[in-house]
Chains A and B, each alone.
Chain A
Amino acid sequence: MRKRYAAICLLLWSVLPLAGCWDSMELEQRGFVIGVAIDEGNAPLHPNHTNGKQSFKVTFQEVIPAGLKQEGGSGSSLAGESYFNVTLEGKTMLSIIAKMSTMTSRTPFFEHLKLIVVSEKVAQSDYGFANVLDYFLRNNDARRNVSVMVAKGEAKSVLSTVPQGEKTPVMFIQSISKNQDTYRMVPETRIGDIHEYLLKRQSFVIQKVTSKDSSISLIGGGIMDGIKNNLVGFMDEMETAGFNFLREGIRGGVLEVDVGDNLVAYKVEQVSRRVNTDLSDPSNPKFTIELWVEGSILEAFERRDYLEQPTIEEIEAKVNESVQRLVNETLNKTQNQLKRDVLGVGNHLKERHPGVWKQLEQEWDTGRNYFANSDIQVKANVEVRRIGSVNNTERR
């Protein structure tokens, strides 16, 4: 009998911990933040306050789960219902998020964060860029594959673009940046990779997003300085293309070349590169970047017999020229104008010639700037592999 009472008591006692689950949180209480846009706030509240040099105006994009559901075709076109944006100001991300909890019905939750947009101004300020990313790296909700982009102008407006074919602006931007067939955009820059560049003190290129009248474009890229970790300039469409060729970042893309009097469109399929280094004078390294470009002809207005070797060779030479032109623009931008090594030649030295790198490391893209003074030659080998399904479309 006593044993039975003891058992009942034990059972009742075991109910106690059930009520006290600290971490129980219903799904309905979580607010899933999928995008964050960070702009510069108004002037610091106290000018001589040393801890908070900067304040930020942060916009959060939260999804409304009910709005994301497909309801039999009806109502799904109302894109405005599937997300909302909240903008708040503060000095640290954490304090801003704490403020946010007082204003939205759900607790913000970053596990599904997809995109962080940093405004041009914040990215340009000294160390501001790394400061705003600290929270998202330190907090273990967010993953290391969150995309980070720099907005030309205001970041907030990027999150207010009208999504086309997607439910929310963030998903829209995400699916654009995943498109494979252009070299005018920089490949996705993940926060994990950026963390790596920041720790390596290496200059890098970051995705750029421009919003204009509720439409956006991801053409171009931002160049970040490796020492101060701030934005030093933007690359335009052509410079980005050249950059993608140089970094093997090509995921497809089209080069239009003049053959005869007409255009032929060459589709780039694959680029591989090899860097050859000449270190006969260690303080003035010479690099030869060899590129192997492979692709096919997918559109041709010039009527020729494309099954003839000379025709193919002519096109290859023309494509080669235009690759050279793109690459030279990029070299001009990075070596002569901005003097920042985003091409990874410094990293190549570090990997292959660590001894030489030790000597040059400190003043690679600052001070004496060995990078800007190094001699970089690009040699492209273009191959036309295929010509498509027909030889010619009409007879002239």
Chain B
Amino acid sequence: MANLRSWKYGDERIGGKETVFTITSLMIGVGILTLPRTVAKATNSSDGWMSILIAGGITLIMAWLVAKLSTRFRNRTFLEFVGDKAGKPVAMAVGLAFFLYFLSFTSYITRSVAELTKQYLFERTPVEVVSLGFLLVVIYAVSGSRVGLVRLTMLFLPFVLLVTGVFLLMSVNLFELKKLMPVLHSDWGSILNGVQESIFSFLGFEGVLFYVTLMRKPEEAPKLTLIGVMIAIVTYVSIYLFTIAVFSYEVTENIMYPTIELAREVTVPGDFFERLESLFLIFWLVSIFATTSIALDVSVQSVRCFTKLDKKKLLYVLAPILYLLSMYPQNIVQLSNLGKLVSYMGIVTALVIPLLIFLIVKLREVMARA
């Protein structure tokens, strides 16, 4: 037994910390860069942090529900579980929904990464080339071990959070509390608009359904999921408060990527260390690479209830679809429309489906008892 303990990472299982970071990583995607703008625009005041908190609260409840559901799998995969409880056709429908959502999610992130790097890093490299490169690396990662992907997020996400924390703290001399005033002066309509916008940035946590089977202790899933969601909430709220207090909401709603602009604003006295945003972008890129890989992996896992093809062959089939879909939007407006479409699909997979399955499971229990 002592020998087995030292062979900690050889068992193809994931531990507690890895689960937490996987969940956070699935949520913190492109949203971390654009959330302050979309929320400031929707609420049209500095009270958007309330929207983020409310959306975070809803996410907490849903994530807890999802994780609670997953403790009942008992070595079955999510879709096998659904099949046992609600019948094969339902399982197939659920599988299709998850497949479509995570596939388009992957495409959307791929294109967003390409657009962002075009704006800030490679001004003259065509987005087609950046997307292709990014997608190839993601596909390579997905064709390997699933636990490997989880360990990637464990490796990268803490750095993103650390760099974010550092530049937020360093922007303290630009922080003006009075830009957050007036507090609590928005009507509920605009707050709810903000809730809708910010809930989009919390979607993705449902991916955990496909990883519970890999966990060393699946019974811990609810607790760990809640911690993961909490990290995302704290990150979002603090980024939002800082961007508003530095830029004011009028400016924030006009900046394309407020989080990056905030990192650009930070200078250390002495002009020695100026380009903090490149550090942030680098860590963000590797972290989003891990996120995208997990999303694609979930998509592949959920399509496997339809076909007997093995993972690698399936990826050969999916790769061109992914690439074409990511190249479909012709401009930044269409890209953000695609993002909205993906988010609405995400509402189905993250909120509607888990809730329905939970109800079905409960109903069957009650009926069995009766």
Complex A-B: 12 CB contacts under 8 Å: A22-B125, A23-B121, A23-B123, A23-B125, A140-B119, A143-B264, A192-B251, A192-B265, A196-B247, A199-B254, A350-B182, A351-B178
The majority secondary structure among interface residues of chain B is loop
Contact check, B247 vs A192: say whether CB atoms are below 8 A apart: yes
Residue interface mask A25-48, B partner, CB < 8 A = 1: 000000000000000000000000
- A184-200 with Cβ < 8 A to chain B: 192, 195-196, 199-200
With CB as the reference atom, state the residue of chain A lying closest to B274.
A143
Measured between C-beta atoms, what is the minimum distance from A194 to chain B in Å? 10
Give the residue of B124, B126, B250, B261 whose beta carbon is less than 8 angstroms from that of A144.
Answer: B261
In the bound assembly, the distance between CA atoms of A350 and B185 in angstroms comes to: 11
In the bound assembly, the distance between CA atoms of A354 and B181 in angstroms comes to: 9
Please give, as numbers and ranges, the residues of chain A lying within 8 Å of B124 by CB-CB distance: 22-23
In the bound assembly, the distance between CA atoms of A145 and B261 in angstroms comes to: 11
With CB as the reference atom, state the residue of chain A lying closest to B254.
A199
Number of A-B contacts (CB under 8 A): 43
Please give, as numbers and ranges, the residues of chain A lying within 8 Å of B251 by CB-CB distance: 192, 195-196, 199
A53 at the interface (CB under 8 A from B): no
In the bound assembly, the distance between CA atoms of A199 and B41 in angstroms comes to: 13
A212 at the interface (CB under 8 A from B): no
Contact check, B185 vs A354: say whether CB atoms are below 8 A apart: yes
Measured between C-beta atoms, what is the minimum distance from B337 to chain A in Å? 22
Please give, as numbers and ranges, the residues of chain B lying within 8 Å of A325 by CB-CB distance: none
Contact check, A144 vs B264: say whether CB atoms are below 8 A apart: yes
Contact check, A199 vs B265: say whether CB atoms are below 8 A apart: no
- Chain A: interface residue total (CB-CB under 8 A): 16
In the bound assembly, the distance between CA atoms of A351 and B244 in angstroms comes to: 14
Residue interface mask B110-121, A partner, CB < 8 A = 1: 000000000111
Please give, as numbers and ranges, the residues of chain A lying within 8 Å of B178 by CB-CB distance: 351
In the bound assembly, the distance between CA atoms of A21 and B254 in angstroms comes to: 32
Contact check, A22 vs B122: say whether CB atoms are below 8 A apart: yes
In the bound assembly, the distance between CA atoms of A199 and B120 in angstroms comes to: 24
- A1-33 with Cβ < 8 A to chain B: 21-23
A352 at the interface (CB under 8 A from B): yes
Please give, as numbers and ranges, the residues of chain B lying within 8 Å of A200 by CB-CB distance: 248, 250
Q: Which A residues contact B (CB, under 8 angstroms)?
A: 21-23, 140, 143-145, 192, 195-196, 199-200, 350-352, 354
Measured between C-beta atoms, what is the minimum distance from B16 to chain A in Å? 40
Residue interface mask B248-282, A partner, CB < 8 A = 1: 10110010000001001101000000000000000
Known pairs A144-B265, A192-B247, A199-B254; A351 contacts B182 (CB<8 A) = yes
Please give, as numbers and ranges, the residues of chain B lying within 8 Å of A140 by CB-CB distance: 119-120
Beyond A195-B254, A350-B182, 13 additional pairs, beta carbon < 8 A = A21-B125, A22-B122, A22-B124, A22-B126, A140-B119, A144-B261, A192-B247, A195-B251, A196-B247, A196-B248, A199-B251, A200-B250, A352-B181
Please give, as numbers and ranges, the residues of chain B lying within 8 Å of A144 by CB-CB distance: 261, 264-265
Measured between C-beta atoms, what is the minimum distance from A102 to chain B in Å? 19
Measured between C-beta atoms, what is the minimum distance from B258 to chain A in Å? 11
Measured between C-beta atoms, what is the minimum distance from A131 to chain B in Å? 16
Please give, as numbers and ranges, the residues of chain B lying within 8 Å of A350 by CB-CB distance: 181-182
Please give, as numbers and ranges, the residues of chain B lying within 8 Å of A22 by CB-CB distance: 122, 124-126, 129
Q: Which B residues contact A (CB, under 8 angstroms)?
A: 119-126, 129, 178, 181-182, 185, 247-248, 250-251, 254, 261, 264-265, 267
In the bound assembly, the distance between CA atoms of A192 and B176 in angstroms comes to: 14
For the complex of A and B, 3 pairs with smallest distance between CB atoms: A351-B181, A22-B125, A199-B250
Contact check, A354 vs B182: say whether CB atoms are below 8 A apart: yes
With CB as the reference atom, state the residue of chain A lying closest to B186.
A354
Please give, as numbers and ranges, the residues of chain B lying within 8 Å of A192 by CB-CB distance: 247, 251, 265
Please give, as numbers and ranges, the residues of chain A lying within 8 Å of B247 by CB-CB distance: 192, 196
In the bound assembly, the distance between CA atoms of A374 and B264 in angstroms comes to: 40
In the bound assembly, the distance between CA atoms of A23 and B265 in angstroms comes to: 24
In the bound assembly, the distance between CA atoms of A22 and B125 in angstroms comes to: 5
With CB as the reference atom, state the residue of chain A lying closest to B122.
A23
Known pairs A23-B124, A196-B251, A200-B250; A145 contacts B182 (CB<8 A) = no
In the bound assembly, the distance between CA atoms of A23 and B122 in angstroms comes to: 6
Known pairs A22-B125, A140-B119, A351-B181; A196 contacts B261 (CB<8 A) = no
In the bound assembly, the distance between CA atoms of A139 and B250 in angstroms comes to: 19
Please give, as numbers and ranges, the residues of chain B lying within 8 Å of A199 by CB-CB distance: 250-251, 254
Known pairs A22-B122, A22-B125, A22-B126; A196 contacts B250 (CB<8 A) = yes
Contact check, B254 vs A145: say whether CB atoms are below 8 A apart: no
Please give, as numbers and ranges, the residues of chain A lying within 8 Å of B185 by CB-CB distance: 354
Please give, as numbers and ranges, the residues of chain B lying within 8 Å of A21 by CB-CB distance: 125
With CB as the reference atom, state the residue of chain B lying closest to A355.
B185
In the bound assembly, the distance between CA atoms of A144 and B124 in angstroms comes to: 23
Please give, as numbers and ranges, the residues of chain B lying within 8 Å of A196 by CB-CB distance: 247-248, 250-251
In the bound assembly, the distance between CA atoms of A196 and B181 in angstroms comes to: 15
In the bound assembly, the distance between CA atoms of A374 and B370 in angstroms comes to: 76
Contact check, A145 vs B181: say whether CB atoms are below 8 A apart: no
In the bound assembly, the distance between CA atoms of A331 and B178 in angstroms comes to: 23
In the bound assembly, the distance between CA atoms of A192 and B250 in angstroms comes to: 12
Measured between C-beta atoms, what is the minimum distance from B169 to chain A in Å? 18
Give the residue of A143, A195, A352 whose beta carbon is less than 8 angstroms from that of B182.
Answer: A352
With CB as the reference atom, state the residue of chain B lying closest to A138.
B256
Measured between C-beta atoms, what is the minimum distance from B191 to chain A in Å? 15
With CB as the reference atom, state the residue of chain A lying closest to B178.
A351
In the bound assembly, the distance between CA atoms of A199 and B247 in angstroms comes to: 11
Please give, as numbers and ranges, the residues of chain A lying within 8 Å of B125 by CB-CB distance: 21-23
With CB as the reference atom, state the residue of chain B lying closest to A21.
B125
Measured between C-beta atoms, what is the minimum distance from B6 to chain A in Å? 36
Measured between C-beta atoms, what is the minimum distance from B17 to chain A in Å? 36
With CB as the reference atom, state the residue of chain B lying closest to A350.
B182
Measured between C-beta atoms, what is the minimum distance from A106 to chain B in Å? 16
In the bound assembly, the distance between CA atoms of A23 and B124 in angstroms comes to: 6
Please give, as numbers and ranges, the residues of chain B lying within 8 Å of A195 by CB-CB distance: 251, 254
With CB as the reference atom, state the residue of chain B lying closest to A357.
B182
Measured between C-beta atoms, what is the minimum distance from A175 to chain B in Å? 12
With CB as the reference atom, state the residue of chain A lying closest to B118.
A23
Interface centre among B119, B121, B250, by most A CB within 10 Å?
A: B250
In the bound assembly, the distance between CA atoms of A135 and B124 in angstroms comes to: 19
Measured between C-beta atoms, what is the minimum distance from A270 to chain B in Å? 17
Please give, as numbers and ranges, the residues of chain B lying within 8 Å of A354 by CB-CB distance: 182, 185
Measured between C-beta atoms, what is the minimum distance from A22 to chain B in Å? 4
With CB as the reference atom, state the residue of chain A lying closest to B261.
A144
Interface centre among A21, A351, A354, by most B CB within 10 Å?
A: A351
With CB as the reference atom, state the residue of chain B lying closest to A24.
B124
Give the residue of B119, B123, B265 whose beta carbon is less than 8 angstroms from that of A145.
Answer: B265
Known pairs A199-B254, A351-B181, A352-B181; A145 contacts B122 (CB<8 A) = no
Please give, as numbers and ranges, the residues of chain A lying within 8 Å of B267 by CB-CB distance: 145
